Amino acid sequence: MDNLITGDVKNVEELFENRWFHFEHRDVTEYIHVGGRLDGILHFASPASPIDYLELPIQTLKVGSLGTHKALGLAHAKRSRFLLASTSECYGDPLVHPQSEDYWGNVNPVGPRGVYDEAKRFAEAMTMAYHRFHKVDTRIVRIFNTYGPRMRLRDGRALPAFMGQALANEPLTVFGDGSQTRSFCYVDDLVEGIWRLYNSAETLPVNIGNPSEMTILQFAEAVLKVTGSTAPITFKPLPVDDPKVRRPDITKARKLLGWEPSVALADGLKRTVDYFRAKLALDGPASGRRGS
């Protein structure tokens, strides 16, 4: 189920021929009725790029609150397992580094990023309330920066912005001086971690991400290397409340799930650039021109 506000039905077209797959173009913030049995509900609905949730602030807040409430209500009615896709943004601009699940965060609720941060924090609280009061079988994954094929070139996050700019041989846009850090996890590793969490018995939040930390400037240079681009790097002012550091403590995932990422950055970037080259050839270079 997707209202495609930030999605693309082309990403699931190959599944349409599978008789076990059914797609509904609907908004999860509205009443949900699904006939028959539901074994599980995975609630991933939300804009997740800073550009998206700054352009869609009300929709972001609604999907985190109303959407989570509707999805949990369905899980309660169907007695099905429920997994919430939460985010490292729950930690805000952290004062603890790396971030472990017992850290409560440093979030500005009235800043421009607050619409996403607080929507996800509310979603976690709602999920735990349904677990404790209605005994719904719930899971919460806090997803850290993830990259890979099928990201939108105009997504606005660092990876697609850098890829689009590098492949078009345009200046790579780095905000601030590029010293802020992120930890990038390849999508295959993320999916494996989420699947293991879903099939575990853990009901409290679990970080899933790559603890290998690097600066945004280093990441831009890695993209230039994998693309073979000679484009320069330009610097723009840092957005409001942009986290200075971001690195997951995955001790809990290692112990409970036996999980840790296995795809090296160079390998993941190579797989990703092949997708973006094909995407740019199909859509044209203009599709990649947007800030990060």
Where in the sequence numbering do the catalytic residues fall?
Answer: 116
| Cβ(226)–Cβ(275) below 8 Å | no
**Cβ atoms within 10 Å of 236's Cβ, excluding its own:** 11
d(CA 212, CA 261): 10
Q: How far apart are CA 69 and CA 204, in angstroms?
A: 18
CB 43 within 8 A of CB 84: yes
The answer to whether 235 and 176 are in contact (CB under 8 A) is: yes
Q: Output phi, psi for 92, to 5 deg.
A: 60, -140
Interior CA angle at 145 toward 245 and 213, to 5°? 45
Sheet holding 40-43, edge to edge: 40-43, 81-87, 138-143, 206-208
Residue appearing with tokens 């990703």:
272
The span from the CA of 179 to the CA of 15, in Å, is 41
**3 state DSSP class of 87:** strand
Residue 210 CB coordination number (10 Å): 27
Q: Where are the beta strands (DSSP E) in the chain?
A: 40-43, 81-87, 138-143, 146-147, 172-175, 181-183, 185-186, 206-208, 213-215, 233-236
